[in-house]
Structures are given as structure tokens and as C-alpha cells.
Amino acid sequence: MAWDDIWAGMGDFSDRSFDDYTLEATPSLAYFSSAPFQGRTSPAQRKYWQGQFGNVQSEYAGALGSAIRNQEAAPTFTQFLEDMPWTERYTSLSPALRPGSSFSRFSPQARRIYR
């Protein structure tokens, strides 16, 4: 595959603003300005998503690689973030994996029995 094919799949850059270039050049800006940090989310959800930047960036790399491999239009990082089902992913976590939750909430510690 030639570089021309890769560039063709990424779309036309002339219709983008400087802000779009900035968000693509610095993925953390795009990530921390996306849905879970702007909307009506709980503090626990924000705390969870703050620690997931590396995982989300790895998912994007996989999506980008498969788009290039399949010769499809490659999404930008901001497009990838817009299409991400934030709430569904957080609510599908077990309560023990959510921030602020612990097993003691569901099963209290056993107390010692003294004779």
C-alpha cells in the first residue's frame, strides 16, 4: 500500500480549522474535552474515564489500523471519540470495577467472635 492510498483515506485537510489540527495533534486535548468530561456525568464516571486515556488511545490505534488495512476511510481521533458509547461502557462495568465502589459495600467484613 502506498502512502498516497493512506492519505486518500484520511480525507481532505483543507476543510478543517486550526482547532481541528490542534485536537488531532494533541490527542489528550480531544480526549479530556469529550463527552464524559463535559456533560452531566457523576464524579465516579469522570474519575474512571480519567484513567482510561491510554486504553481508549489503543482502541483508536486498532480502529485506525483496521481501516487502513481494509482500505476504508480512516476516522480521526475526534470522530472516534464522538462515536464512542461512553455511558453504555461505564454502566456495563461490574460495581466492583467502578471507582468509589468496594466489595465491603456488598458484603461487610466478618467480625471476630470472641469467647
Domain ranges of the chain: 3-82
In angstroms, the CA 53 to CA 88 distance is: 17
Q: Which three cell numbers stand for residue 99?
A: 471507582
- Predicted confidence at residue 20, as pLDDT, reads 65
Set of cell numbers at residue 54 = 491510554
Give dist(CA 52, CA 89) in Å, integer. 12
Looking at residue 58, its pLDDT comes to: 92
The ranges of the chain with pLDDT < 50 are none
H or E segment to which residue 65 belongs: helix 53-69
CA distances from 110 to 69, 87, 100, 102, 104 (A): 55, 35, 21, 15, 10
Q: What is the pLDDT of residue 49?
A: 84
Tell me what pLDDT residue 47 has.
84
